[in-house]
Amino acid sequence: MKKHLLLYVVVALFIFPKIYGQKSDYGLNLNEPLEFKHESLLLPTFLIASGAFGIRKGPIRDLSVEIRESLKPDGSKVTVDDYLPAVGIASAYGLEFAGYKGRYDWKNKTGVLLVSGLFMYSSVRITKNNISARRPSGRSVSTFPSGHTALTFMGAEFLHQEYGHRSIWFSIGGYSIATLTGFLRIYNDKHWFNDVLAGAGIGILSTKLGYWLYPMIKNIIFKDKNKVEYSSQSKKSYTIQFAPIVTNNEVQLGAYIQF
pLDDT in tens, the chain (259 residues): 555 555 555 555 445 555 554 455 555 554 454 566 777 888 899 999 999 999 988 888 998 898 888 887 666 678 899 999 999 999 999 999 998 888 888 999 999 999 999 999 999 999 999 988 899 988 888 899 999 999 999 999 999 999 988 888 899 899 999 999 999 999 999 999 999 999 999 999 999 999 888 888 888 887 654 454 433 333 444 454 444 454 555 545 455 555 4
Residue range 52-86, pLDDT digits in tens: 999 988 888 998 898 888 887 666 678 899 999 99
The residues spanned by each domain of the chain are 2-258
Diameter of the chain measured on Cα atoms: 60
Residue 199: half-sphere exposure toward Cβ, Cα within 13 Å: 31
Name residue 241's beta-bridge partners: 256
Angle value at C-alpha 182, between 177 and 184, nearest 5 degrees: 95
Helix orientation angle between 87-97 and 106-130, rounded to the nearest 10 degrees: 170
B/e letters for 157-170, b = 16+ CB within 10 Å, e = fewer, are: bbbbbbbbbeebeb
Q: How far is CA 1 from CA 4, 8, 112, 195, in A?
A: 6, 11, 39, 18
**Separation between Cα atoms, residue 21 and residue 139, nearest integer Å:** 40
Please state, as a whole number, how many other Cβ atoms lie within 10 Å of the Cβ of residue 78.
11
33 preceded by a cis bond (ω within 30 of 0): no
CA distance 220 to 114: 16
> Can you tell me the distance from the alpha carbon of 28 to that of 7, in angstroms, rounded to the nearest whole number?
34
pLDDT of residue 49: 92
> Other C-beta atoms within 10 Å of 138: how many?
9
